[in-house]
Every structure is written in structure tokens, then in C-alpha cells.
Amino acid sequence: SKHQHYPEINQEMNKIEKGVSVTFTPHVIPIISGIHSTIYLDLNADKKEYEKVLIEAYENENFIKILKDSNTPSIKDVRNTNNLAMKIFSDYSKKKIILVSCIDNLIKGASGQAVQNMNIMFGFDERESLM
């Protein structure tokens, strides 16, 4: 993939599991703000194991929402927030895990992320001015 974020995604995934194969699909849709991404990973464990890892990694994070019910992440759910919504799906026939995520790139991908980082750097609650 020649997408600008592919090398970073590949680098971070390979920190978790060496030699992992990742397919990243950003979706271009006619909206003012928002990024809806689909990331495909090789299935090396049961979907519940991947969910467990995500939940454990992000359960105390204020701005990351792991969806566990029948909902699918949607741009409208994160619009005008600093949140990232994500959910794991599985395609056992293709031996793939599918991670779907959504952010409002004008908040989480830009100003909101800057405010969150500033809050952390200066010892403020990371949610200050963002919730």
C-alpha cells in the first residue's frame, strides 16, 4: 500500500507480532470530517482473544470506545468529539480479523489531539476542555 499511514501501521503491528500481514483500507466518502478505516489482520487466534487484548489495552482510556455489542463504528458516533470508536470482526473463511475504526479527524486527528497532548504534558486531566 502506498497510503501515507501504512508504514506507521505496519511498524506498530510488527511490534506486537513480527511478520504480521496488514491491509489498511481508508475510505473516502463525501463528508466534511471523519475517517472510517478498515484494517485486515491475519487471524492467528480466536476473535475473542483479539477483543480481550483491545479491551485490556484501552479499558481505562477516556477517548477510545471498543464496541462489543451489535453496533458498527460510525462517523456520526464520533462527530465533534475526541473519541475513537472501534470494533473487531472476523472472517474465518479468509482467516482474517477486521478492525473497523472511526474518528472525527478535525478533532481527534488535529486540534483535539493537540489539546489532549498539551493537557498530559502540563499535568492536567487529559479530558480538560475535551469532554
- Domains of the chain: which residue ranges? 6-104
Give every strand in the sheet of 84-91, ordered side by side.
22-27, 35-42, 96-103, 84-91, 64-66
Q: How many residues does the chain have?
A: 131
The pTM score is: 0.76
If we measure between CA atoms, which residue out of 9, 4, 36, 34 comes closest to residue 22?
A: 9
CA distance 35 to 31: 9
Please report the pLDDT score of residue 93 as a whole number.
Answer: 83
Please report the pLDDT score of residue 1 as a whole number.
Answer: 54
Please report the pLDDT score of residue 98 as a whole number.
Answer: 92
Cα distances (angstroms) measured from residue 102 to each of 18, 20, 46 = 26, 23, 23
Please report the pLDDT score of residue 126 as a whole number.
Answer: 92
Grid cell at residue 125: 486531566
Please report the pLDDT score of residue 3 as a whole number.
Answer: 66
131 residues of the chain, pLDDT tens digit each? 566 777 887 787 778 777 777 777 777 778 888 888 888 888 888 888 888 989 999 999 999 999 987 789 999 999 999 999 999 999 888 888 999 999 998 888 778 889 999 999 999 999 999 98
CATH 3.30.2420.10 fits 6-104, yes or no: no
